[in-house]
């Protein structure tokens, strides 16, 4: 992979609409604290962009907030409750700070900067997920970045037990196994 071609990374978390305002306030507080820490780091270490991105990442994209009506789907983030979804977006290479993509520093250094940025953004999304899940019973979006896996993630979804029963019955041969089911620890194992 070249340092000037990498994808966005997004986390999305659904919280009950009754706790949406406190959840957003807590998220914004966390991000303000991280931004202040990142600025202090860069002021003290102006040439260490990699260190700042690795240790003190801040989102460089918008935070989206949407209201979503509840439903009764087994693995829906809105199952059993009207929700507000909070999406935190880290852009890919097309929107990054010029210090990462500076062609004068060479491909190897750009890759080190990218890896620092990628490590930092995953760390911050994990911290956001921890905050929103622990304090506001958030449910992470299945198709976006998730720090949790396995039983802990499935336990956040009230219909997971019923879904697992159907899944095990319909997937006895492992036909529907894949990276997500592996990460959740529910793959059945392919048989010949």
Q: What is the pLDDT of residues 25-35, one digit of tens each?
A: 999 999 999 98
Interval 133-142: pLDDT, tens: 999 999 999 8
Residue 2 lies in a domain: no
Domain that holds residue 139: 9-148
Interval 65-98: pLDDT, tens: 999 999 999 999 999 999 999 999 887 655 555 5
What percentage of the chain has pLDDT greater than the value 70? 86
CA 139 to chain centroid, in Å, comes to 11
Among 74, 28, 32, 35, which Cα is nearest to 57's? 35
Residue 43 lies in a domain: yes
Domain count, the chain: 2
Average pLDDT over residues 141-164: 87
Looking at the structure, do residues 112 and 192 belong to the same domain, yes or no? Answer: no
Residue 4 lies in a domain: no
What percentage of the chain has pLDDT greater than the value 90? 47
């Amino acid at each position: 992979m070249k340092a000037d071609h990498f994808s966005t990374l997004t986390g999305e978390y659904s919280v009950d609409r009754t706790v949406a305002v406190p959840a957003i306030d807590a998220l914004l507080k966390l991000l303000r604290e991280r931004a202040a820490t990142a600025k202090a780091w860069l002021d003290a270490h102006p040439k260490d962009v990699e260190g700042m991105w690795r240790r003190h990442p801040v989102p460089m994209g918008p935070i989206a907030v949407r209201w979503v009506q509840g439903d009764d789907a087994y693995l829906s983030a809105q199952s059993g409750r009207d929700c507000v979804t909070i999406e935190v977006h880290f852009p890919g290479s097309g929107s990054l700070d010029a210090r990462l993509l500076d062609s004068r520093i060479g491909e190897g250094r750009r890759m080190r900067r990218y890896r620092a940025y990628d490590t930092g953004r995953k760390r911050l999304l994990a911290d956001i997920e921890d905050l929103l899940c622990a304090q506001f019973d958030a449910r992470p979006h299945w198709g976006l970045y998730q720090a949790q896996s396995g039983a802990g993630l499935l336990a956040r979804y009230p219909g997971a037990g019923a879904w697992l029963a159907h899944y095990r019955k319909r997937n006895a041969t492992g036909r529907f196994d894949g990276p997500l089911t592996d990460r959740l620890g529910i793959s059945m194992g392919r048989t010949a």
